[in-house]
Amino acid sequence: MHPLRRLTTRAAFLIVTCKVAACLDIALLTKAPSAAVAISPSFLSLSIEQDRWTDWVGTTSRNEFFFNTLDNLNQITGQPPHIRIGANSEDHTNFGNDVEFAEDIFPAVTATVPYPEATNITVGDGFYQAAQFLPPNSHVSWGLNLGENNLTAAFLEAKSLAKAFSSSQIKNAGITLDAIEIGNEADLYSNNGLRASTYTSTQYVSEWTTFANNVSATIIAEFPDISPKFWGAAFAGSSHSTTGFSPQAIFAEGVLTSPAGKLISTISEHHYSGSFCSGNGGLLQDLMTKSTIRSNLTQYSPDITSTHAKGLDYVLGETNSYSCHGAPGVSNTGGAALWTLDYSLFASQLGVLRVFFHDGIGFKYNLIQPITLTRSTLDGTPLTTPSPPHVQPQYYAAIIAAEAIGNSGNTKVIELSINDTRVSGYAFYEGDTLARAVLINSQAFFTTDTTPRTSVQLNLTFTDASPPKNVSVKRLFVPHADDTTGLTWGGQNYDTSDGRISGSLQVDSAAATAGIEIQETEVVMLSF
């Protein structure tokens, strides 16, 4: 037995007397406090780079591995994750009547970007029809090309998209087109050559309105049974004010006043923790750190507040660790799984309806690698042995979040007040009753560490009536923060050929008022 597995295979509960280097008191309410917020079963969802969409989902038959990884989450919560299809390549997509699925033109592979996005994509009807291979009852948001400022392209894409979602295959599966996103990160158009350097949000609002009015009128006239809403903004950053690019600015400039603007249901913004194309241990600890996560997200509070004031939902429609498709040795590691979990759950506390973690074929920060890869995701060198479809460490964060939320459809969550710079926690309530708690120790334990792995003892107290008598404990075991494999959740793993769970479940139990140890780079879920 690996020595680091001992805490997960023995009862790790201690009498409340502290017996490790550090102790923390964790106060839990058995009844939901008024500050607890509702959280969707599909809160942690996926954004997919559009250029290779059919590699993910399939063409004439479904990609079984990808389907299984989504269905795992569906089985836990009763809802598959929502899927946003778009991102950078949505602004390089055109439609061709003679194209069956997609024809892509890619730039050269580099060590920094081993799997670049296509610079030109031409799609046909089959590209959109492939959504039929998603799990039943999936919800989809799809991006259309604004970047090339070609209204005909957007019009043809929209018609094909609506045609697909009117088909019996998609309708009978309960798969719905929730929203259309027109343009990706328009605030960067002046930097990437898609617009002049003087491009402003006022110009964006004018262009978006023209495109959205045309698209919505076309769909309503020709496909009356399809009634998608729009996502607005989809900006890479925000000025957080009424000038520059932000929700506040486009609201002030009248984006909601046109017929199409009245169909905006959701404001989407994008966020990455930084832009790094090479990684190291220090960078990984920075990513995982509790204070960094909170400062990264709270900057969007003015945007969220302004969005809610208009009666609209707010999502992080594209997010992940570091740009350049992730930093090697950081974004693809066990430590990133802890970051993903804490980052997501903290976002729920700010009024974010849903977070969409971005994935692309071969991207380093993927939760899922859905096809066989023939070159390294880290530096682009050819692989001696091809890498089959597999999940990456961040996928475990999605599984844990799903289990914590559960399938009641009536779950609330609140962050726990924990006086520690490394340990964070969240309590989950079904209705008003305490059901589960998730605790995260984000102190990174590296393969290069020469001192023993430390633990913190958490002493649970219950501050209102009728405390639970017993608790079960499930642990995410991560060998080291910088390891890319070897994770287990309750003794089980998803590192399998079909993406399904494997191994024997390991769950401990003890008195609810006993202490519990949580080691460096570990997640613990308590079920009451």
CB 441 within 8 A of CB 519: yes
Mean of the pLDDT values across residues 179-186? 98
Q: Among 3.30.420.10, 2.60.40.1180, 1.10.1060.10, 3.30.1280.10, name the CATH number for the domain at 3-37+410-527.
A: 2.60.40.1180
* pLDDT tops 80 at residue 269: yes
**Banded pLDDT at 331 (limits 50, 70, 90):** very high
What residues contact 222, with CB distance under 8 A and at least 6 apart?
159, 162
pLDDT of 306-329, one tens digit each? 999 999 999 999 999 998 899 999
> Which strand ranges, in their side-by-side order, compose the sheet holding 120-123?
93-95, 120-123, 102-105
Quick one: pLDDT at residue 21? Answer: 60
HEC assignment per residue over 154-200: HHHHHHHHHHHHCCHHHHHCCCEEEEEEECCCHHHHHHHCCCCCCCC
pLDDT in tens, 48-94: 999 999 999 999 999 999 999 999 999 999 999 999 999 999 999 99
pLDDT of residue 4: 37
Please determine, for residue 19, whether its predicted confidence score (pLDDT) is greater than 90: no
Per-domain residue ranges of the chain:
3-37+410-527, 42-405
Which residue carries 């040795």 as its tokens? 329
Give the pLDDT mean for 408-424: 97
Please check whether residue 268 is in contact with residue 399, taking contact to mean a CB–CB distance below 8 angstroms.
no
- What is the average pLDDT across 241-258? 97
Q: How many CB atoms lie within 10 A of CB 83?
A: 25
Tell me what pLDDT residue 6 has.
36
Query: Mapping DSSP to helix (H, G, I), strand (E, B) and coil, where does residue 303 land?
Result: helix
Which pLDDT band holds residue 464 (cuts at 50, 70, 90)? confident
Helix, coil or strand: residue 94: strand
State residue 515's pLDDT score: 86
Mean pLDDT, rounded, for 444-463: 95
Instruction: Look over the chain and give the mean of its residue pLDDT values, rounded to a whole number.
Output: 94
3-state secondary structure of 122: strand
In sequence order, the β-bridge partners of residue 472 are 509, 527
- 325-348 b/e (C-beta count within 10 Å ≥ 16 → b): bbbbbbbbbbbbbbbbbbbbbbbb
Q: What is the reported pLDDT for 2?
A: 40
pLDDT number for residue 280: 67
Q: Is the pLDDT of residue 9 over 70?
A: no
Mean pLDDT, rounded, for 173-183: 98
pLDDT at 463: 83
Q: Mean pLDDT across the stretch 500-508?
A: 98
% of the chain beyond a pLDDT of 70:
95
Separation between Cα atoms, residue 440 and residue 520, nearest integer Å: 9
For 48, 169, 219, 336, the CA distances from 166, given in Å and listed in that order, are 22, 9, 11, 39
Q: Top-level CATH class of 42-405?
A: alpha beta
State the DSSP H helix or E strand holding residue 519, giving kind and residue range, or none if neither.
Answer: strand 515-519
Distance CA 412, CA 414 (A): 7
Give the pairing type, strands 423-430 and 411-415.
antiparallel
Give the C-alpha distances (Å, rounded to integers) separating 347 from 37, 43, 70, 88, 354. 11, 10, 22, 24, 8
Taking the whole predicted model, whether its pTM rises above 0.75 is answered as: yes
Please state, as a whole number, how many other Cβ atoms lie within 10 Å of the Cβ of residue 373: 18
Provide the total of helices (H) and of strands (E) in the chain, helices listed first: 14, 27
Q: Residue 3 pLDDT > 90, yes or no?
A: no
Both tokens of 217, joined, read 């009128």
Question: How confident is the model at residue 281, as a pLDDT?
Answer: 65
Amino acid 278: pLDDT = 67
User: What average pLDDT does the segment 196-213 reach?
Assistant: 98
266 burial (CB, 10 Å; 0-12 / 13-18 / 19+) is: buried
CA 426, 429, 433, 435 torsion-angle sign: negative
